[in-house]
Amino acid sequence: MCVFSEEARVDGPDAASRPAQTAPGPYIQMGNFNVDGPENEYDLGGWYAQVRLPFMKTMPGSIGARKLVASAGWGKHSILYEFVSAGMRDSHFIPHEEEGLEEGTWTSRIHEYVIHAPCSPLVGSRIWPEA
C-alpha cells in the first residue's frame, strides 16, 4: 500500500478517450518501484522527462501517463500508463520498452537500478467504470 501524489502527467494522442472524472483509460499498466541508491534519482527523473513521457505524448494508442511519487509506502515511485487497448499497447509500447534490452541505452541503464515491487508492473483492463 502506498499514498501517491501526481508528480507529472502527459496526455497522449488518444487523451480524448479518457473517461470523465479522470478515471484511467480502458487498458492500463502500473509499476511501483524504488531505485538502488539516491545517486540514481536524478537519472531516473531525467529519463522520464526526456525519454519516456515525451514518447507517451506521441505513441499511437496512448491516452497518457501519470508519474507518481509516494509520501508513504514501500515504493517511492510509480508510473501509470493508459492505453486505448491491449493491442495498441503491445504494438507500440512493448517495442519501445525493448530498448532496455539494448546495451548502452538510457533505458537499459534505468533497468539496471530500478527495483520493482513484487508483481510490478501490473497490466490489465480497467473494470470500473465499465470500459
Cα angle for residues 113, 83, 35 (degrees, 5° grid): 10
Range of the domain at 121: 2-125
Q: DSSP secondary structure string, 31-52?
A: EEEEESSGGGHHHHHHHIIIII
For residue 105, the domain's CATH number is 3.30.70.100
Beta bridge partners, 125, equal 27
Residue 130 lies in a domain: no
Q: What is the pLDDT of residues 16-40, one digit of tens each?
A: 988 777 788 999 999 999 999 999 9
Residue 108 lies in a domain: yes
Around Cβ 105, how many Cβ atoms within 10 Å? 13
Residue 104 lies in a domain: yes
Largest Cα–Cα distance in the chain? 42
Number of domains in the chain: 1
Contacts of 106 (CB under 8 A, 6+ apart): 47, 51
CB-CB contact of 121 with 27 (8 Å) = no
What the block records as the C-alpha cell of 40 is 540514481
Q: What is the pLDDT of residues 72-109, one digit of tens each?
A: 999 999 999 999 999 999 999 999 999 999 999 999 99
Can you give the pLDDT at residue 9? 96
What the block records as the C-alpha cell of 37 is 541508491
pLDDT at residue 131 is higher than 70: no
Can you give the pLDDT at residue 4? 96
